[in-house]
Structure formats: C-alpha cells, structure tokens
Chain A
Amino acid sequence: MTVRAIAGLVVLNAFVLAVGACVLWALRGWREWSDFLRLSGVAYLLGLAALFVVWTLELVLGIPFGAVSVALTGLGLALAAIAVGYRRGRRAPRLGSLPPSLVRPALLGALVVAAIAVYLEALFRPGRLSGNGWDVWGSWLPKAKEIYFGGGLDAELFASLPGPSYPPGLPALHAAAFHAMGSADSATLHLQQWFLAVGFAAAVAGLLARRVRGWILLPLLLLLLLMPDVRNRATDLYADVPLGYQLAVAALLVLLWIEDRHAWKLWAGTLLLSGAMLTKREGILFAACIVAAALVASFRERRSLWPRLGVAAVAAFALALPWRIWFMAQDVPSDAPEAGYLGVFDHLDRFWPSIELVVSTFFDYDLWLLVPTLVVAASVLAYLGGARREAAFALTLLVTSLVGSAWTYWSNPSLEISRDDGLVNRVVGSPLLMLGALLPLLLELAWSGNRARAAVSERGGGSIRTRRAALAAGIVLVAVAAYPAITLAGGAPRFPSYDDCIQAPVAGQQVRVVFGYAETYPDASALRDRAFASGFEGTEVAQDGCGRVRVFLDDVPSLAIGQEVVEEARGVGLDPALEQDPDD
C-alpha cells in the first residue's frame, strides 16, 4: 500500500516485458524499434507465459523460489532467447521511422486511443487499495503466500485448498510481485492485474494495427475492454481474466498464422497456450477449442497446416506437463471433472440446463454489452465477404467454447446450475475475450472483401499531415494528463499507514496515554509489564486497528492530567504520547 510497493510492481513488469522482448526477438525479430513498440503488448504476454512455464518447472523441481531465482530465471530466459535469435540470423533493430499509424493518424482514432488510455488510468485507481475476494482468500492467496514465504510448493497445503490442482502460474507471479513489493501486500497486488490488462490491450492493438483500419479496430477494442463483467474483475486476484487475456491473444495469433503462415505467430500462440494452461485448468479446455477451430479453419490446407498445428498443440501441452506430473505424483486431487470424463453420461439431466445457463450468460447484455452479438454478426459478414476460413475459425471457437463451458457444469454435479454465484460469468469470460479479440479482424475482412490489408506505405508527410499528427498526439496527451490531474484536484491519493489510527488529543475531551506500539502481542505485553512495574496500573494492550498492538492507559479525564502522566512516565524511562480517546 506504499509508493515503494507500486514502484516494485513497475520494475517487475518492466522485467517481464524485457524477458518477453527477447523471446519475441528470437521468434520473430524486428528490424526497427517501432516494430517492437507496436508488438510490446505481445512481448509482455510472451514474457509472462515464458516465465510461467519456467517458474512452474523450477517449483516442480524444488528449486527455491525467491527474488534471486526470479531474476536469474528471467536473465536465463533472455540470454537463451538472444542466443536463439542470433542463431536464427536476427539482427539488432535500428531506430527507423515511426509506425504509419502514428505518422498518419486519424482524429477519430486519437479520440478513441485517448478514451482507452483514460479508461486504463481509471482502472488503476480502484485496484490500488482493493480487498480480496472469496476464493482469493481461500485459494489463490494461500498458494501465492506459500511460494513467497516457503519458496516452493507444499503438496499438503495445496491439497487442502479448493482447486488443489490448479496450476501455479498466477500464484508464482503473485509471489514474484510480493518480492518486488517487499512484502506480501495483497492490497497493492491487485495492481499486478492492471499491468496484465494494459498488456492485453496493447497486444490486441499491436497485432491488428497493420491489419485492421483504425476506425474498425479502436472502437471495438474499447468496447471489448469496457465489457462490464471484465472491467469489474479486471483487477481482482482471480485467474479468470488473466487466463482470458492469454487465450484471446493466442487465438488471434493462431488465426493470423493460418492467414499468413508466419511461423512466429504459431509459436508465440503456442507459448501463450502453455501460459494459459498454467494459469487455470480451463486453459486446457479452451486451448483445445482454439486448436479445434484452427483445424476446421485450415481444413483445405490440412496437408501442410495440420501437422504444424499438431506439433504446436503437443508442444503447448508438453510445456505444461511438469505441473500435471507433480500433482499426480504428490497425490494432490486431480483437476478432472467430478463425474469423470465418461461419467457425464450418468448426468444427462444436466446437459441441457448447462447449455442454457452458458448460452444465456454469454448473450447477457449487462455482462458483455454487444460483444457476443457483434461476434456472430461479424462472423456472418466475414463469411459473406469471402473470409470463410476466419469465419469458420470464429464460429467453431464460439460453438466449442460454449459447449466446453457448459461441459464444466454438466460434468461437475456439485456445481449448482445457477447464475447466482457469478461462477458462470467467470467461465464464459474467456470465450468472450477470445472471440472479442477476433471481432475487429472479422469486420476488417468483411469490409475489404477478404483481402488482408497491406502494411501501410510510408509516404512523405505534408504539412497537413504533420498538423494532424500533432493534433492527434495532443488529444491523447491532454487526455492522459487531464484524468490524473482532475482526480488529484479532488485530493491526493491516500496511502494507508499506521498514522491512520493515531488521533491527536483535543482539549476538553478525554485522552489516552499511549506508551507505544508493537508489531506483536508479546512485544506489547513486555512494554505493558514495564508500565505496570512503574506504577501505571490499568495499562492495557489492544489492536490499534491498523495492524499493530497499542499499549495504553485509557480514560484520562483531561489533556492536562494526561500531560502530568506523560511527564511522570518519562521520569521512569518510558516514552509515552497523548492521543485522543475515541471512546469518549
């Protein structure tokens, strides 16, 4: 809850980005830094997924998890990626020119970019001091704290918690965040999820910036980010939204690979699918949906594409396999459905209600605005426009992920088929993010008649263009600066501290003499015993309400008497202070 904790998170996420940049350079390389700027969101998510994979392997192998191991792991990944990059003939990038979208901006685009930036700023504020949700206390936080304090996996603890075999990717990230913040500060930890949201928005925008015209891409990206259920959960500490981010960018990369066969997209998608599988058990289910959609979409090119897809799917699963081996070896309860994989047929009565529940939730405007409806419309338009592969991909992903979501209910009889607990929103959120990320591409293909939009040529800029660029940049900068300025004008941000529980004495009211504060009751008791021994009978110890123990003499009738007591105490070597007695 301190500036230092926030600064620690900034450093950690810059570190994740740097690792991901090296991985992206190995997979793709980039000629100019502007290329990297455009793909920085993808790089960030790749860094995250790569770290999830290696952290999980280290935890499974029993390598102690700590600040040093986190740093060395990142360094090792970065060096390995750089070595692979050089081996593959990648060259150091040059400065080059600005991305065309920056050189030739549209004013509408600038307004929407400004709106997205302000929205992300706004999302930061509630995350900073948030409390923890139910399953966060009950499952995610104990795992993260165990990795942070214990430096590894405790099979007994994991087995005792809900979701015992849920993978450790996110808890490991949270443990790394604790190290970066300097303490297990679960309130500030919510901001870690904010960085993921920024990375996701940047990744979708960067991947589609050259493929989709701005007036299609930006409003739909904004709509995607504003989906009420996603924004409500964007900074909670559950794994559902981070899972959705990784799956969404993976789905987009796989579809773009089917279009242009650039191998880096398939391998980047593969790594993200592994990251998703190590984020939550549904990662495997939805990864299978993405692979199924890719198989259907590439049916005509099956001879050349299916083998590569198969290798990618196996590789994605293999990278997540160490965790599965570990939890099975440790007899941690499995993540298989309660009814078993075939036992679902004993519960056929749940099949249709599960489908109804998932479909009705999926198309709920209050949760997702128009996104699901637009996905269906865009798929149909893309199909009519000749983009049949892409439409087939989207529609197959839609159907399989909905059936898959329903299967989670159908196959777990203990789950109540109801929307009351909000669980179904969390399950359906990933398909929504996956399909929502495809939406701009589908509409672009519909608009342009299935012609991939060529990279924009960089023609020389005239004075009008320069003025437009300056105006667009001005709009974004003013908006980005204005929001915090307006917010700060309403008062400086609050950083909770121990001082919140100290009230200055007020003349005419009862006061209390506080002999000191301690971090524990035993320390406080020792101080109280000293006060007792000095004749201050009636000295008490109690929680101060801010995480410490107060040692105090209560109900002192006036400030003057309190000052006399303070003088007396100082005479025997104690160092008390006067505070207002709020019981007065």
Chain B
Amino acid sequence: MAGYRCPIADGAGTDTRLNDTSSSERIRSVVASFGEWPSGVIRFGVVLCVGLALAVVIAGAYRDALEGSDFWADRHSGSDYATRSVPNETAIGSKQVAEDARLWMPEDATYRIVASPDLEGPLEWAAPDFLAGFLLPRRQTDSEDAEWVFCYLCDTAELGDQFETLSDGGNGVLFGRMRP
C-alpha cells in the first residue's frame, strides 16, 4: 500500500526524471494513476481535498475575508472616541458618567461603588470589572473613606451631605466625590 511513488512534481519534486518531462505529461500521468487501487484512489482523495479547499477559497471565503476586513476597518475607523475607548453602557450604565469620572479623578485616586440592593443584571455583576478596566490606574475599593463614589441606583441620602454629584447619567447612575 505504501510503496508507490509520487509522480507529480510541483516544481520542487525529488524525481529528476519526472522533472524533465513536460507539465502536461506529468499531469496525465497523475490522472492515469487515479485508477490504481488503493494508491491511485488515495491520491485522488488528496487532490479532491486540496481541490475542495481551493474551491471554497475561490468561491467566496477569500472575498468574504477581504470584504469583511474592509467593512470592519471602515467601521472602526469611523467610530468615535467613546465607542472605541469607553466600555459600553450595558455594562457600566453611562459612558458619559464613566468618562467624567476618568476626567475628574487623578491617577492615584481610589473610588468605591455604592449600589442599590435592588440592582441586578450587568450593572450589578459587570460594572465593577469594567470600571476597573477603564479607570486603572485609579483603584477601586470597598472603603467608605474613598473620596470618589459611583452610585448605581443608590440612595444618595445615605451618602450624606458631603456627597457632591459631579456627573449624572439621568438613569440612576451618578458619580461624585465626598467633600472633606
């Protein structure tokens, strides 16, 4: 089964005699060998596999890849700062508030997140991680001593009179600081 010799040369074959024959003769020789059992059938299977791969590439996969790249390149190029650089609102509640927070807090700041017990969904489980990723090197903390505060549907009265709202997303998402 394993004793046949590859009769095709792709320009890098090892059989000098075959390299001296013309391409068409070589191809004819290969095609003729497809009738041999089992080696020819296996070789035919290989040609079929490569042919199918090429067919898939030529029939659309390659064009789809280039068109897809063009589409996404245009889309990414056309997107604005907030789309590209600020996490989406599903996760953080308000891009406006998050960006305000970044612009308010110095890089060595610490902030905490105060959330309503009723908060659920992505704002409850994703916002802390997304804000951490966006706002680093500013540090998230649980400490009530933190100067900066995000409020997610929280009762601002509980934060006391010291809380000064600096940004309000209009949807219960606030950012502010505790005045000394």
Contact A214 to B65, CB < 8 A, known contacts A149-B136, A370-B56: no
Docked pose: A215 CA to B12 CA in angstroms? 10
Query: Within 8 Å of chain B (Cβ to Cβ): is A443?
Result: yes
Contacts of B75 in A (CB 8 A): 126
Residues 206-234 of A at the B interface (beta carbon under 8 Å): 213-216, 219-220, 222-223, 226, 228, 231-232
Q: How many residues of B contact A (CB 8 A)?
A: 66
Q: Of the candidates B54, B73, B104, which one forms a contact with A125 in the assembled complex, judged by CB atoms under 8 Å apart? A: B73
Q: How far is the CB of A9 from chain B (nearest CB, A)?
A: 17
Tell me which of A106, A134, A162, A549 has the highest count of chain B C-beta atoms within 10 A of its own C-beta.
Answer: A134
Docked pose: A115 CA to B63 CA in angstroms? 11
Question: Is A443 a contact of B61 with CB atoms below 8 Å?
Answer: no
Query: Within 8 Å of chain A (Cβ to Cβ): is B24?
Result: no
Contact A223 to B56, CB < 8 A, known contacts A139-B129, A374-B49: yes
Q: Of the candidates A106, A186, A228, A384, which one forms a contact with B85 in the assembled complex, judged by CB atoms under 8 Å apart? A: A186
Q: How far is the CB of A186 from chain B (nearest CB, A)?
A: 7
Q: How far is the CB of A152 from chain B (nearest CB, A)?
A: 13
Tell me which of A139, A453, A521 has the highest count of chain B C-beta atoms within 10 A of its own C-beta.
Answer: A521
Which chain A residue lies CB-closest to B44?
A381
Question: Is B106 a contact of A520 with CB atoms below 8 Å?
Answer: yes
Residues 38-93 of B at the A interface (beta carbon under 8 Å): 38-39, 42-43, 45-46, 49-50, 52-54, 56-57, 61-62, 64-66, 68-73, 75-77, 79-85, 87, 91
Docked pose: A385 CA to B41 CA in angstroms? 10
Question: Is B1 a contact of A384 with CB atoms below 8 Å?
Answer: yes
Which chain A residue lies CB-closest to B104?
A521
Question: Is B76 a contact of A386 with CB atoms below 8 Å?
Answer: no
Question: Is B4 a contact of A446 with CB atoms below 8 Å?
Answer: no
Query: Within 8 Å of chain B (Cβ to Cβ): is A122?
Result: yes
Question: Is B12 a contact of A214 with CB atoms below 8 Å?
Answer: yes
Question: Is A545 a contact of B46 with CB atoms below 8 Å?
Answer: no
Docked pose: A139 CA to B128 CA in angstroms? 11
Contacts of B163 in A (CB 8 A): none
Question: Is B103 a contact of A449 with CB atoms below 8 Å?
Answer: no
Q: Which 9 A-B pairs have the closest CB atoms?
A: A386-B2, A126-B72, A125-B73, A149-B137, A106-B11, A122-B69, A142-B133, A145-B136, A129-B76
| Chain B residues engaging chain A, CB cutoff 8 angstroms | 1-6, 8, 10-14, 16, 38-39, 42-43, 45-46, 49-50, 52-54, 56-57, 61-62, 64-66, 68-73, 75-77, 79-85, 87, 91, 96, 99-100, 103-104, 106, 126, 128-130, 132-134, 136-137, 140, 166
